[in-house]
């Protein structure tokens, strides 16, 4: 019961934070031409590259996380993006401007540690490729440890 509740919690958290982040990323993607003209460049890689990186994180990785595909990679990428937003882009801003990216970063840190959960493409792929009960020796019974051979 406890495991089911935890898995449902991870699923709900993953879906909610993905949809919320998409609400930030999709408007940026739709206004890409005007966005790149004055987008901040906290990493000193150019405004267009900075815009592409944040769009990759906010839209691409949010979709991956929504599906549970490459879940740890997607959540780690989003964690890094939110830390850059909080501590590089909003460095001189008051705490209230850092609060939302840090809240997102905390959620992404948790999802990076837990993984996307059992209701994800990652979990489905793992179950399909490595079914439970399949031994490494392709069906040959293994001797008990310490048993004479």
pLDDT tens by residue, the chain, 149 residues: 888 888 889 999 999 999 999 999 999 999 999 989 889 888 889 999 999 999 999 999 999 999 999 999 999 999 999 999 999 988 888 888 999 999 999 999 999 999 888 888 988 888 889 888 555 555 555 555 555 55
Q: Which two tokens stand for residue 2?
A: 């406890």
Query: What residue has token string 């993984």?
Result: 115
- Helix (H) or strand (E) holding 37, with range, is helix 32-38
Rounded Cα distance between 133 and 110, Å, is 30
Nearest to 29 by CA among 51, 6, 4: 51
pTM score over 0.85: no
Q: Is 48 exposed, middle or buried (0-12, 13-18, 19+ CB in 10 A)?
A: middle
């Amino acid at each position: 019961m406890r495991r089911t509740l935890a898995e449902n919690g991870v699923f709900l958290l993953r879906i909610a934070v993905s949809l919320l982040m998409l609400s930030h990323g999709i408007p940026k993607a739709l206004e890409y031409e005007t966005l790149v003209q004055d987008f901040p460049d906290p990493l000193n890689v150019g405004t267009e590259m900075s815009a592409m990186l944040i769009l990759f994180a906010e839209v691409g990785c949010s979709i991956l996380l929504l599906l549970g595909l490459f879940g740890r990679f997607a959540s780690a990428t989003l964690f890094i993006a939110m830390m850059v937003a909080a501590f590089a882009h909003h460095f001189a801003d008051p705490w209230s401007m850092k609060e939302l990216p840090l809240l997102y970063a905390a959620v992404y840190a948790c999802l990076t540690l837990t993984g996307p959960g059992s209701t994800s493409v990652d979990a489905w792929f793992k179950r399909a490729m490595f079914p439970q009960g399949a031994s490494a020796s392709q069906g040959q019974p293994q001797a008990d440890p310490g048993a004479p051979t």
